[in-house]
A and B are shown apart, each in its own frame.
Chain A
């Protein structure tokens, strides 16, 4: 285990730390879960670190690529999954991990999210969901709850947030899980399950932004917000037997789906096989 811990540390770029995240931010915990899950698999020999490519968009969470000692593509806002799709399709042997935030994934990047899930392309997407735009100082996101205060919702938010896991399930994602920064060990397991899964894997990691969400919403420290996660998380097993009113305001954690279905790049390999077995056009 100590070996895996050392290995996990070696997956971070010393010279890029300290990170830009505020004190109390949950993103370091989520990144830790990703790094541990990767380290376990590298130690076990199931993942070759040279074949890992981390792709992110724009925002606080997306800065993580710079801290990771892998090939990394810090792409454009909302487009990480589209960049990653090109990478994975061009070289299917790569282990492509997408790091994104709730604004990056669910607002500007929503279209790419639903279509990548529909294709079941073999990406591992981890959404650091802090329910706010942190990098731009606290505007509401598609994950901001009703009645919360944001700089662009000064009278209280009137929109309903997505349930990202339900969205992923509806779009055909074949591995879907939700964890939270408070349950860091469980989160590592969910990311590990996503990495092991062959197909489109989605993990929503509930994170916290005390600076731009908490302070405006009566949770001024990271501890307050972690306590909120602890008090509002419900496991899937418990949720299954709970009365609906008991689940109001709560969020479910656990693995919602882990199901094998044909993976996109493997399907494309079948096309290549079929096409190369006949003569086409005047190609070489």
Chain B
């Protein structure tokens, strides 16, 4: 199965029943699969006139109570940004699949890149919350499609599945989980009945997330991209406006430890915690990577270990909110005589966050490539060998 296919199947199993999109390589397979499969499940698909319209239609559909998504690539992602901000402000759950290709502009269609990490976080204007996850395999693409939809629903935020062309077009043999075994979340619903004067559409629950009423269910409420009060009506007072945006960000920050997922890959073990006994020797290198690059990085770590370097991979699964705690731990393990080597297909995006979170506990270095090809294990291994400090033993 192909990565894009796994994405579409994961979304269907997670309960997505609406897709609006616009053709763009390397994401188009997702639209093509959903055009065929959605109506068979009673869902609906539409190819809109442009990327802006498809994001708008997704938000409109999501407001009626359906789980909704779109898929795109760099140029289309740029066009969607204003409405992604609307989804953040009006708290409309939705999934945006962004299959990264080279940029800026039309770039080198459609070679892989990972240059949209910061755009995924800050592409729309103003402070806002967002959830971004990035898979490294076909199976993980399926899993993270489900997870992104889950988080989007639970937190009422736009979630972005940040794929790259390699993972999207890669084919792997996969065993998918039984649909019944999936833990699926839906947006919180109002406890008050329609027409109850006590109902306030934007009054948050204890988790800072307001229960969400469907359009057409009788609540007759107002949704806007303007700063708004708990009734959904426009605000004119700065302090209240600021409090709203602080809450929007807080609802994601407060679940960051649950939301931020990483995978450590050592010589014999892989999992959410550092390999036991790492580092056995010094100096030690922790390679930090994500998406397709992390696959090369994993192989490079094996090569480096075979050459006598103490090396482990820290693979980021959640990109935003940024996994600060895992980076701080990695930096402490690497120490001042070791290093964090950040590998990504760009000129330096995740590395800035890594340096911030490492906070001087270990040197942080970047290795990137923007030549439109997946970084190879040999390149990374050479980088570890050349600059990673003297080998012992």
Contacts and interface: CB of A to CB of B under 8 A. Distances in A.
Contacts of A278: 40
Contacts of A84: 60
Contacts of B9: 281-282
Contacts of B221: 71-72
Given A71-B222, A112-B49, 14 more contacts: A50-B216, A50-B217, A73-B224, A74-B225, A82-B48, A82-B57, A87-B60, A89-B18, A90-B18, A90-B60, A90-B65, A93-B216, A275-B36, A283-B41
Interface string A271-284: 11011101111111
A122 B209 CA distance: 33
The 4 closest A-B pairs by CB, nearest first: A86-B60, A86-B57, A82-B56, A90-B61
Given A76-B82, A283-B12, A50 B220 contact: yes
A76 B52 CA distance: 10
A75 interface: yes
B106 interface: no
Interface of A: 16, 49-51, 53, 55, 65-66, 69-76, 79, 82-91, 93-94, 111-112, 114-115, 268, 271-272, 274-276, 278-284
Among A91, A112, A284, the most chain B Cβ lie within 10 Å of the Cβ of A91
Contacts of A49: 220
B37 A89 contact: no
Given A86-B57, A276-B40, A280-B37, A53 B20 contact: no
Contacts of B225: 74-76
Contacts of B223: 72-74
A73 B65 CA distance: 14
A93 B225 CA distance: 25
Given A83-B57, A85-B46, A73 B215 contact: yes
Nearest to A89: B44
A158 B118 CA distance: 42
Interface in B193-207: 194
Centre residue among A88, A279, A281 by max chain B CB count within 10 A = A281
A198 to B, nearest CB: 18
Nearest to A92: B44
Contacts of B41: 276, 283-284
Contacts of B46: 85-86, 89
Contacts of A16: 233
Interface of B: 9, 12, 18, 20, 33, 36-37, 39-42, 44, 46, 48-50, 52-54, 56-66, 68, 82-83, 86, 179, 194, 215-226, 233-234
B39 A275 contact: yes
A50 B39 contact: no
A71 B215 contact: yes
Contacts of B220: 49-50, 69-71
Contacts of B217: 50
A10 B225 CA distance: 25
A74 B226 contact: yes
B37 A50 contact: no
A271 B42 CA distance: 9
Nearest to B56: A82
Nearest to B39: A275
Nearest to A270: B39
A86 B61 contact: yes
A262 to B, nearest CB: 16
Nearest to B214: A91
Which of A69, A72, A76, A90 has the most chain B CB within a 10 Å cutoff? A90
A73 B216 CA distance: 12
26 contacts: A50-B216, A71-B220, A74-B226, A75-B60, A75-B86, A76-B82, A76-B86, A79-B53, A82-B54, A83-B57, A84-B60, A86-B18, A86-B56, A87-B215, A90-B44, A94-B215, A112-B49, A115-B53, A271-B39, A272-B42, A276-B40, A276-B41, A281-B9, A281-B40, A283-B12, A284-B41
A84 B64 CA distance: 11
B42 A53 contact: no
A85 B64 contact: no
B330 to A, nearest CB: 39
A276 B37 contact: no
A114 B82 CA distance: 21
A73 B64 CA distance: 11
Contacts of A55: 60
Contacts of B226: 74
B39 to A, nearest CB: 4
A90 B66 contact: yes
A73 B39 contact: no
Contacts of B33: 281
A115 B52 CA distance: 13
Contacts of B18: 86, 89-90
B49 A71 contact: no
B43 to A, nearest CB: 8
B39 A272 contact: yes
A184 to B, nearest CB: 26
Contacts of A85: 20, 46, 48, 53, 56-57, 60
Contacts of A275: 36, 39-40
B49 A86 contact: no
B98 to A, nearest CB: 19
B215 A89 contact: no
A62 to B, nearest CB: 10
A65 B40 contact: no
B274 to A, nearest CB: 38
A73 B63 contact: yes
A168 to B, nearest CB: 16
A283 B201 CA distance: 34
Nearest to B43: A272
B49 A115 contact: yes
B49 A89 contact: no
A94 B65 CA distance: 13
A51 B217 CA distance: 7
A65 B64 contact: no
Given A71-B215, A86-B18, A280-B40, A79 B64 contact: no
B59 A83 contact: yes
Contacts of B58: 86
